[in-house]
Amino acid sequence: MKFFVDTADIKEIRELNDMGLVDGVTTNPSLILKSGGKIDEVTRQICDIVSGPVSAEVTATDYDGMMAEAKVLAKIADNVTIKVPLTLDGLKACKAIRSEGRMVNVTLCFSANQALLAAKAGASFISPFVGRLDDIGIEGMDLISEIRQIYDNYDFATEILVASVRTVNHVKDAALIGADVITAPPAVLRSLVRHPLTDKGLEAFLADWAKTGQKIG
């Protein structure tokens, strides 16, 4: 399973990339706002760090506007993935952008039917938002299971990119189901390494090593 980091924080992206934990990056208007930078400049910086897909989202809601913005975003770098909303205009734009050879991430997916439409439109990635479903009392991971089954039934090439990931359990469950990608905030990715027994074991090893009075090297 691939790890994308869901942020526009250049420092965080660079640090996680250096650890080998970043296969791609997802951004959105809210993350660009939080970064304090301009979308073209921030996206270019990210693409200079990460060789994998970097999702940059259009803000237009009509087909013509999406296509115009997609052309601007595509010029930033070869690995820019155009991110479009799961609307009829977004699906139309997805098909057109894919026909030009550019990757497309269809976002704001909340149902299996929506995911089916995105795959039919040729989406490179579908982004179901599990955390937001959890917020309204619907099990987000059930949607991932449904999409996985549908895509496997018909051998769709669209990759399931689990979004709105908020916990380490979201990551584990996505991996168990067989999702292709998760995109998570830096804090969640860093939390994956943590376990109290690891900390306790390391503490005991270091205490015993200190008693030996030895040094390595």
CB 186 within 8 A of CB 12: yes
E strand intervals along the chain: 2-6, 24-26, 54-57, 80-85, 104-109, 125-128, 159-162, 181-184
User: How far is the C-alpha of 196 from the C-alpha of 79, rounded, in Å?
Assistant: 38
Q: Rounded CA gap, 81 and 115, in Å?
A: 18
Count of residues making up the chain: 217
In degrees, rounded to 5, the angle at the alpha carbon of residue 192 between the alpha carbons of residues 191 and 198 is 90
State the catalytic residues. 83
Strand duo 80-85 + 54-57: pairing: parallel
Crossing angle of helices 140-154/112-120, nearest 10°?
40
